[in-house]
Structure 1
Amino acid sequence: MALVYGVEKKTVPAYMKYAMGGTSGMLATCLVQPMDLLKTRMQISGTLGAREYRSSFEVLSKVFKNEGVLSLYNGLSAGLMKQATYTTARMGVYQMELDWYRMNYENDPSLVASMTMGIVAGAFGAMFGNPAEVALVRMMSDNRLMPEDRRNYKNVGDAFVKIVKDEGVVALWRGCLPTVGRAMVVNMVQLASYSLMKNHLRGYIDEGIPLHLSAAMMSGLLSSLASMPLDLAKTRIQQMRMIEGKPEYSGAIDVLKKVVKNEGAFAMWKGFTPYLIRMGPHTILSFVFLEQMNKAYNKHVLGDSQSDSSEP
């Protein structure tokens, strides 16, 4: 924060905002990766012509039985790369937007301003993170395919090389439009609701981890409900194959139309339980880690012991 009601303060450098944003996302991903795998498997259930899973528990039991416990972390390298690109960009951009707003208006942003800043931050993050997102979805869904159909990526670097070699550079941005759309919705709701809930709850809860947890829990629930259909469309597009020389889907709208027609309207929220279980803790952990890193930087580097956090 550059100014506090006209009083100049030391600020966290821009590069540290990006670094702490990405690091917070990577730490959270290490803990919630299994939920992301369950969510992805649920979302692509039915794309092979039959309904593979009836519930998240069935996914979990089949993964344990057929693939082993460690397979819950399939795609972890891609998940970490996604956070290093997507979360680094979105958190860094959003915090810089907040600092700019407070420096120019000397006040907390309004609801409309917070939502607008979240949309911009989400779009930037999604464009940077899309290649890792493509690799992540494919790596998490690979074991469900027949051996001859598997891509067998060793890690995210191997995935990038093989995708570029076999499909071209553009394939790294397959599904970019629904990815950007989902990210804009997620960030519009997640970042804006977190800031607003945190400001509102300050009247009831003292600054600290309980406040951050409470605001992040509400933010995770709201963003999960709003973004799930676009997340499903993104997942289906990124792992689709060519059928008789033509792509399985022409775009996000085509995915959602086919899902509603063939699987029912509620299928747009298929995998919601693991999605919420994944996004909720990921949102909470990301914000808590970020708050604590900001607090530590302000205290130990800037020497600002009065500042509890640099609010995201």
Structure 2
Amino acid sequence: MADKGSSHVSYQQKNKVRLSTFEHALAGGVSGFITRAVAQPLDVLKIRFQLQVEPTCGKRTGLYYGILQATAKIVNTEGLSGLWKGHVPAQFLTVAYGIGQFGSYAFLTRIASENGFGESNSIRGTCGGISGMIGTLLSMPCDVVRTRVVAQGHPKQYSGMFDACRQILKKEGPQSLWRGLTPTLLQNAPQTALQFYFYNAFMKFATSFCGEDGFLTASAISGTAAGAFAKACTYPLDTLKKRIQMRGFEDARSQFGRVVKYKSMLECIAKVTQEEGVIAWFKGLWPSLLKATVSSGLIFVSYEFTCIFLTKTYH
């Protein structure tokens, strides 16, 4: 049953303007580009923590054991640019995902509305989950390449994004570019569904406090909160995805600590839980939550801003 009165009124709805699916996809790509440029260092920290077998808190036996310590370590050993390692493939990933996600989300919500399903939080969440899967399928190869480039040490095995893609295709085959797809879909579908659900639910309250002139402020607040809630609920699946994406590339990480190889996703789940404990699934949670709040707030407000710009410019 639809949640009556639970959806917020967007700028476009208020001004009786409907952007095309292409324009929504374009806005999604722009918002993804802006967000990635700002949040990339937090993503690098998150990936380094997720791939470290040793504890990341408490006993300081691993290379990284805190956000500030890890940041300083990367800057000292790899330079400031190390915090933006993998930025180019990450931009391809985020822009491709943003185009697929927001383009399909606009199309799906429009179809749902036209067929009498309304615009409740539940409907928005369901459309968001499906759009997350579409965005994942479109951007997955960029995610695999990004993870490899960020994870490698010195000397580098890959000189850059295109070299990484070439080597992966040559040595591991085309299917390897979708390595980790199952845990990624398991993570992204519910995370995106929750993100859109919470965003629309929070916007109902945020817009009542911020007023009509504070639409973008309400969007930033709602997006930030939605990102944190959604990420916290699905984080272990993100760690699993990163571990699986490193299959066949484990030896290149020997300088970062103990190397563990997994033959399958189930073996990975069993080994990590038995050898590192349940807490291991939450390695890198803090930089990830920081990234999720920053990214989600930025991506929604920049998406809404781009939609407003397109509305005023071309309609």
Range class of TM-score, shorter chain: 0.7 to 0.9
Hey, what does 1:171 align to over in structure 2?
176
Query: 1:190-227: per-residue Cα shift (whole Å, max 9, x none)?
Result: 11211121123333332412211221121011111012
Q: Is 1:22 aligned to residue 29 of structure 2? A: yes
Q: Is 1:140 aligned to residue 168 of structure 2? A: no
Q: Is 1:257 aligned to residue 270 of structure 2? A: yes
Q: C-alpha separation between the residues in 2 aligned to 1:191 and 1:151?
A: 38
Asked if structure 2 preserves the Cα contact closer than 8 Å seen for 1:229 and 1:256, the reply is: no
Hey, what does 2:228 align to over in structure 1?
221
Hey, what does 2:132 align to over in structure 1?
122
Identity of aligned residues (%): 24
SS of the counterpart of 1:203? helix
Greater Cα offset, 89-98 or 126-135: 89-98
Alignment map for 1:224-235 (pairs within 5 Å):
224-235=231-242
TM-score normalised per structure 1: 0.86
Hey, what does 2:95 align to over in structure 1?
84
Unaligned runs of 5+ in 1: 303-312
Correspondence for 2:294 among 264, 277, 281: 281
Alignment map for 1:19-98 (pairs within 5 Å):
19-46=26-53, 51-98=62-109
Alignment map for 1:178-197 (pairs within 5 Å):
178-197=183-202
Unaligned runs of 5+ in 2: 1-9, 55-60, 252-259
Hey, what does 1:309 align to over in structure 2?
none
Asked if structure 2 preserves the Cα contact closer than 8 Å seen for 1:29 and 1:79, the reply is: yes
Q: What is the RMSD of the two structures over their aligned residues, measured on CA atoms?
A: 2.5
Asked if structure 2 preserves the Cα contact closer than 8 Å seen for 1:42 and 1:56, the reply is: no
Query: 1:19-62: per-residue Cα shift (whole Å, max 9, x none)?
Result: 11011011110011010000000000117xx7332222222121
Which amino acid in structure 2 is aligned with residue 182 of structure 1?
Q
Q: C-alpha separation between the residues in 2 aligned to 1:218 and 1:177?
A: 27
Query: 1:130-151: per-residue Cα shift (whole Å, max 9, x none)?
Result: 10000111111112xx53xx42
Q: C-alpha separation between the residues in 2 aligned to 1:106 and 1:256?
A: 39
Q: C-alpha separation between the residues in 2 aligned to 1:110 and 1:276?
A: 23
Q: C-alpha separation between the residues in 2 aligned to 1:82 and 1:153?
A: 18
Asked if structure 2 preserves the Cα contact closer than 8 Å seen for 1:242 and 1:248, the reply is: no
1:123 positional shift: 0.8
Q: C-alpha separation between the residues in 2 aligned to 1:274 and 1:252?
A: 24
Hey, what does 1:153 align to over in structure 2?
159
Asked if structure 2 preserves the Cα contact closer than 8 Å seen for 1:86 and 1:129, the reply is: yes
Q: C-alpha separation between the residues in 2 aligned to 1:53 and 1:35?
A: 14
Asked if structure 2 preserves the Cα contact closer than 8 Å seen for 1:98 and 1:109, the reply is: no
Higher relative contact order (CA 8 A, sep 6+): 2
1:93 positional shift: 0.9
1:263 positional shift: 1.3
Greater Cα offset, 79-88 or 92-101: 92-101
1:121 positional shift: 0.7
1:67 positional shift: 0.7
TM-score normalised per structure 2: 0.85
Which amino acid in structure 2 is aligned with residue 202 of structure 1?
T
SS of the counterpart of 1:202? helix
Which amino acid in structure 2 is aligned with residue 32 of structure 1?
A
C-alpha spacing 1:114/1:177, structure 2 compared with 1 (3 Å) = same
Query: 1:93-137: per-residue Cα shift (whole Å, max 9, x none)?
Result: 1122222223333842242x2222121111111111110000111
